[in-house]
Every structure is written in structure tokens, then in C-alpha cells.
Amino acid sequence: MGLIQNILAVIVVLGLLVTFHEFGHFWVARRCGVKVLRFSVGFGKPLWSRVDRHGTEFAIAAIPLGGYVKMLDEREAPVPDDQLDQAFNRKTVWQRIAVVAAGPIANFLLAIVAYWALFVVGTTAVAPMVGDTTPNSPAAEAGLAQGDEITAIQGEAVSNWEAINFKLVSMIGFSGDLAIEARPEGENDVVVYQLPLRDYLTRQDPPQPLETLGLTPWQPEVPATLGQVIDGEAAAAAGLEVGDRMVAVDGSPIADWMAFVNVIRGSPGESLEIEFERDGERRTTTLTPGRNRLETGVEIGYIGAGAEPVAWPEEYQREIRYGPIEAVGQSLERTADMTLLTVDAIRKMLIGLISPSNLSGPITIAQISGDSARAGLEAFVSFLAYLSISLGVLNLLPIPVLDGGHLLYYFLEVVRGRPVSEQTQAIGLRIGLAMVGTLMLMALYFDLMRLW
């Protein structure tokens, strides 16, 4: 069931992103007088199609992992004399730039609209309260303590753990004193803590911003009660059901959910005697956790089960909501921040501060799409917005075959006063295909490594 949900979620996500991207090309092409021959969502044989009064075929194809807009162009096929003025290659260089840039711009606009909707509807975030600090860690040595509420990092205000994580990830490679402002429990004044860092998060795989500082977010005690059991996994095979409360493992009492998780993670492939409570009755079963190999090579156990959700105290919750006008500015700011974060991550990967193994391909995207869909509409829309920004940024990279590569040629044409030769473009195309193909293979490889 989880696999089916992941597949459906990634089809919906990619379908929306591709449709908006290609619609950007399509809409501007029409405004520039370019004849669009086909607007296809997906590749391969069309499952459905229709032709409008302008002669454009709209199609939904069998392979839902992409899409394209095919325009009238003399470089691809002969064009009748009476339609030459509608050919893409006959348009001015600025019109061609507008048509090509419209795809990535549409992705950024989609992200802005998604963030705007989230800000208007309102979201509830968990206050960034420190739960604990690791002994001898930068956080502990600086004086941060349990109950402190973090209010700013490097002078930038933060209101939840998501904002803190994004800010910390943007500082990969940082050396110096990290300034964290926090309000001690029960006090009104803010204290500034200085955490000395060197080459922060450099080449960590994956980056662990909070753990590296020695910070653990506060969370309410989670009882060892099952809130989710996945069909076909170890928990279901052992006969465990939603609502079962774990009491003991091999005779040792279980205090809370994390204690149960730690036992499971440390027992891959081992047979465990589980004592649990169902409907007030004590029962026992034998549970054998599956094996999951981390990227570090360490094996951990897993059983395909999740904890029963617990309510967070109101004092630890923060509602983020803006009016329709104010939300416009907030959504523009969030989109800009996420765009800069994505560009900076690519730069740091190129110079070696971030490991290439952080690349994600279709498998990881499918897993995250499914997880965000199951987590609720807010998480799904937020992930959709971030992925749309990533697609926009990647398409603007100056690599031939991508929109950014075409834009590079057109801007060179503006500077030189004449188009880049077809021979140069053909060489660039081969180089671009090799680069994109290599990146796709690398992403797929790292996907499979995570899966295994």
C-alpha cells in the first residue's frame, strides 16, 4: 500500500510541476505568435488527446515522468511559406528568450502561490524549544540548556525548527562563532550564545545540523503505542495492530516510544519476544526486525510501524498566519530564500563542501512525495513548492539541453549580434546530454544505495 501511495504521489507531484513548467513555455509562445504543435504531459504514446482551434494538440501520454511543448521550427521540419512568421526560429532573440525563460519562471510562480496559500490558511509550527544538549558539544559548552527557546541565528529571526534547519544548512562550510539567540525558560530577556565552529557540516552525509551542534528539540513523551502498521512488514507479520502498547522486549520493560525504537534499531534480524497490551489484555508475540543498511554501512532494524500521534502542549505551538496582502510579501521572501538555498547548495556541491551522495533521483522523490502526502496537505503543498523551486533552478543551469543552456546561446547572440553556429550548438548538445545523463545515473545510484 505504501508503494502504491508513493507512486501515485510522485505522479501527482511531477504531473503538476511539469504541467506548470510547460504551460509557461506554451503561454508565452502563444503571446509571441509562435505556433504550438503539441502540448504533452508525459512521454510516449498519447492516452488522450484533442486539437484546439489553433491546431495545437493537447495530449496526456503513457509515461507520466515529464512533458514537452513542440513548436513550429524550421530546424526540426519544413515549414509552409504561409506559416514562416509563426516559426520559433524566426522570432526575435528577445522573444525566444522570453519563451524559454517562461518555463522556469512558471515553477517559481507556482511556489509563490503555494506558499501564499499556506500563509493565508495558516500553519501551526512547533516552537524551537531545546530538549537537551549533548555533553561537551558546542551547544553545551556555550551554555544552551533544556527549556531555552531559540529566537534567532546569526541575527536572523526564527520561529520554528524548520526555519532553524534551513538556516543552519545554508551555513555549510562555516568557520567562526555561530551566534544563537535564545530565551531561557521562564524569562523574558534573550541571551546570545556563541558556538565556535570549524568547517561546519562539511561533507557530512547526510548533513545533521542540529546533532552536530549537540542540540535535541524538545518533544512530549511519546508512549510506545502503535499508530501505524505497514502491511507486509515485520510488525504486521508478528500480528501487531494499531493501538497495541508495547510493554516489554525480552523481559525488559519499555518506558516510551524512543526506548522501543532503540531496541528495534539495535536488533536487525534478531528474534525478539514482545509483550504488549491490547484492549487491556497482556499478550506476547515473536518479532524479527528487518535489516536496513545505512549509507555508512551500519545495519539497523526496522519493523514497518509508527507511533501513535501525541498532542503538543499549546504553549509549545506557534501559529503562522498572514492576511492576503501581507502573505504576498512573505511568499515572495520564502521563495527567494529557498531559491538562494538551492543555488548555494549546488555551488557547495561543486566545490566539495557537500557530498554528491546528497543528490536525489526519482526513487527518493517518490518516497518523500508519499511521506508528505501521508503527513497532510500542509506538508504536501510545502514539498511541492520546494520541488518546484528546485526544478526551476535546475532548468536555469547553463547546460545545453536545459532551458538555461538555450538562454546562454541566446544571450551570446545578443552580445555577438549573430546566432551561435549550429555546429557549436550540436557539440554543446552532446556535452549537455552527457552531463545530464551522468547526473541522472548518479542520482539513481544514490537512490538505490539509500533504498538498500
**Series of mean pLDDT values for 10-residue runs along the chain (452 residues):** 67 85 96 95 88 92 84 90 92 96 97 95 86 89 90 90 87 90 88 91 80 88 89 90 93 90 91 93 93 69 87 79 94 93 87 75 64 70 90 92 93 92 88 86 74 62
In this prediction, residue 1 carries a pLDDT of: 47
Q: Are residues 404 and 350 in the same domain?
A: yes
The pLDDT of residue 370 = 62
Task: Flag whether 352 is in a domain.
Answer: yes
Last residue of a domain, one of 164, 198, 217: 217
Whether residues 446 and 346 share a domain: the answer is yes
Q: Is residue 12 part of a domain?
A: no
Q: For residues 323 and 120, what is the distance between their CA atoms, to the nearest angstrom?
A: 6
Give the cell for residue 286.
515473536
271 in a domain, yes or no? Answer: yes
Residues 434 and 340 placed together within one structural domain of the fold: yes
pLDDT of 43 reads 84
What are the Cα distances from residue 355, in Å, to 222, 277, 351, 409?
Answer: 34, 45, 10, 31
Q: What is the CATH number of the domain that holds 134?
A: 2.30.42.10
Catalytic residue ranges: 22
Residue in the structure block whose three cell numbers are 543552456: 405
Task: Please indicate, yes or no, if residue 70 is contained in any of the structural domains.
Answer: no
**Are 209 and 333 part of one and the same domain?**
no
Instruction: Judge whether 315 lies within some domain.
Output: no
Looking at the fold, whether 164 and 208 belong to one and the same domain comes out as yes
Q: Could you tell me if 204 and 256 lie in one domain?
A: no
Domain membership of residue 18 (yes or no) is no
Same structural domain, 351 and 430: yes
Q: Which of 168, 183, 217 is the last residue of a domain?
A: 217
In terms of domains, do 115 and 138 share one?
no
Domain-embedded: residue 52: no
**350 shares its domain with 294:** no
Q: Quick one: pLDDT at residue 450?
A: 63
Do residue 252 and residue 372 come from a single domain? Answer: no
Instruction: State the total domains in the chain.
Output: 3
Give the 3-state DSSP-derived string for the chain, with helices as H, strands as E and coil as C: CHHHHHHHHHHHHHHHHHHHHHHHHHHHHHHCCCCEEEEEEEEEEEEEEEECCCCCEEEEEEEEEEEEEEECCCCCCCCCHHHHHHCHHHCCHHHHHHHHHHHHHHHHHHHHHHHHHHHHHCEEEECCEEEEECCCCHHHHHCCCCCCEEEEECCEECCCHHHHHHHHHCCCCCCEEEEEEEECCCCCCCEEEEEEECCCCCCCCCCCHHHHHCEEECCCCCCCEEEEECCCCHHHHCCCCCCCEEEEECCEECCCHHHHHHHHHCCCCCCEEEEEEECCEEEEEEECCEEEECCCCCEEEECCEEECCCCCCHHHEEEECCCHHHHHHHHHHHHHHHHHHHHHHHHHHHCCCCCHHHCCCHHHHHHHHHHHHHHCHHHHHHHHHHHHHHHHHHHCCCCCCCHHHHHHHHHHHHHHCCCCCHHHHHHHHHHHHHHHHHHHHHHHHHHHHHHC
Give the domain range for residue 195: 130-217
Quick one: 153 and 206 in the same domain? yes
Is there a domain that residue 72 lies in?
no
Give the end of a domain, one of 169, 196, 217. 217
Bond into 206 cis (ω within 30): yes
Pair 156, 241 in one domain: no
